[in-house]
Amino acid sequence: MNEKKLQQYAELLVKQGIRVLKGEEVWVYASVQNHEFATLVVEECYKAGAKKVVVDWSCEGTDRLTYKHMKLADLGKVAPYTIAKWKYASKKLPSKLYIDDEDPDLMKGINPQKIAKANMKAFPKIKPYREAMDGRYKWCIAAVPGEKWAKKIFPKCSTEEAIEKLWEAIFYTCRVEESGTNENWDKHNAYLLEKRNWLTNLNLKYLEYKSKNGTDFKVELIKGCAWGAGLEKTDTGKEFNPNMPTEEVFTSPLAGTGDGLLVATKPLSYQGQLIEDFSIRFENGKAVEVKARKNQEVLEHMIKMDEGACQLGECALVPYTSPINQSGILFYNTLFDENAVCHIALGIGFKELLPNGASMSTEEATKMGINNSMIHVDFMIGTDDLSVVGIDENGKRIQLFKDGVWAI
């Protein structure tokens, strides 16, 4: 492995991802199998001036055993020490870096209904603390290769070769080079912000999606709601990049709107299980029918997690020519696959895109049209012939995407 690029990547996540400032507290979420890279990240945090770095370790094997053997009643409980941790985070607002390496098939064979019901039971207990943190802290999700994840992508390679290939793919899609990595991200953020500002200034009322695969969908947007992209800010103006990689420009549609069919173009990894070859049909803003060749039951449970799970929280535009899609790799990981092509998300929307949204309560944002849910699940709909048309309040039609790429 290229040690120089590993160091550059660790530095990137700290300096461009969560953008650690002097005196800050940082929480890093990582698996035990990638402890060496996590150590590099912790060192970079301290070099950037962090006063304290806490690592929350996980292990795929033990996580799976938890869902396999624990009773549902116990899975849904939230221990007092977990509540205390959430309460602390909601007050101190540490920057959070999530380093993902999860096996896409981690929960294969585990009852999806058991997982769903446990999450539904536990979520209300931590929801107040999550909502108290929304828009107020810096966070970033990135990835490193896990053995099973790498073998899923490159099944014909040895484990060592698969991990090496996945590292190279991560470096490529995250614009990591032995020198100039931070400059690459400054340019990329500027490009995304230019697209974001253009879309916001169009003051669109509707989006229309059409593709030869059957996608035919129209959704209403929230008046005054901005578009987001790349670099984001907390309510106090602290900057961070929440996703690495990222290629999207996105907004939250008006909850309870949307009619037509959306056909997924990539598998969806949800709660450790892969949903493949699926479509979702909407009527009056709600998912009323889902079809999937594989794991349809998981998809059905997902849209019933709560009242908002069957409604939309995000519409994101990503050109078919993105570096992730050009890599030719199906990552089986939403962080990467959602940034390969255009995608839509079921569940909670982004209240921070509303004027003064970061200071709004969930109830206030909901009244403005932001969907509220315990989930936010992205699925990909981009194709090489996808057309996306924006319609403004005067009925003017603006071609945003043609043949899967920006029309401007």
Q: Give the 3-state secondary structure of 227-287.
A: CEECCEECCCCCEECCECCCCCEEECECCCCCEEEEECCCCEEECCEEEEEEEEEEECCEE
Decide if 117 contacts 110 (C-beta within 8 A). Answer: no
Give residue 112's pLDDT.
83
pLDDT of residue 253: 97
Indicate the pairing of strand 273-283 with strand 312-317: unpaired
What's the pLDDT score for residue 160?
96
- Please work out, in degrees rounded to the nearest 5, the angle formed at the alpha carbon of residue 192 by the alpha carbons of 189 and 194: 110
Task: Kindly report, residue by residue over 232-252, the tens digit of the pLDDT.
Answer: 899 899 999 999 999 999 999
Q: What is the pLDDT of residue 159?
A: 96
Architecture of domain 3-173: 3-Layer(aba) Sandwich (3.40)
Band (pLDDT 50/70/90 cuts) for residue 157 is very high
Peptide bond into 94 cis (omega under 30): no
13-45 tens-digit pLDDT = 999 999 999 999 999 999 999 999 999 999 999
- Whole-angstrom distance, CA of residue 208 vs CA of residue 60: 40
Does 1 have pLDDT greater than 80? no
- Which pLDDT does position 274 carry in this prediction? 86
Q: What is the C-alpha radius of gyration for the chain, rounded to an integer number of angstroms?
A: 20
pLDDT category of residue 273 using cuts at 50, 70 and 90: confident
Tracing tokens 């019933």 back to the chain, one arrives at 304
Residue-wise pLDDT tens digits, 160-211: 999 999 999 999 999 998 777 788 899 999 999 999 999 999 999 999 999 9
Whole-number percent of the chain with pLDDT over 90: 83
pTM: 0.86
What does the mean pLDDT of the chain come to?
94
What average pLDDT does the segment 110-139 reach?
90
Q: Look at residue 405 and tell me whether its pLDDT is greater than 80.
A: yes
How far out from the chain centre does Cα 143 lie? 12
As given in the structure block, the two tokens for residue 400 are 């945003």
pLDDT of residue 49: 97
CA–CA gap between residue 210 and residue 402 (Å, rounded): 10
Question: What size, in residues, is the chain?
Answer: 408
CA distance 234 to 21: 14
pLDDT at position 11 = 95
Q: Residue 159 and residue 162: Cα distance in Å, rounded?
A: 5
Higher pLDDT, 108 or 86: 86
If one counts every other C-beta atom within 10 angstroms of the C-beta of residue 193, the result is: 16
Over residues 109-134, mean pLDDT: 89
Tokens of 5: 């690029």
pLDDT of residue 184: 87
Identify the band that residue 338 occupies on the pLDDT scale cut at 50, 70 and 90: confident
So where are the chain's domains?
Answer: 3-173, 202-406
Is residue 273 within 8 Å of residue 107, measured between CB atoms? yes
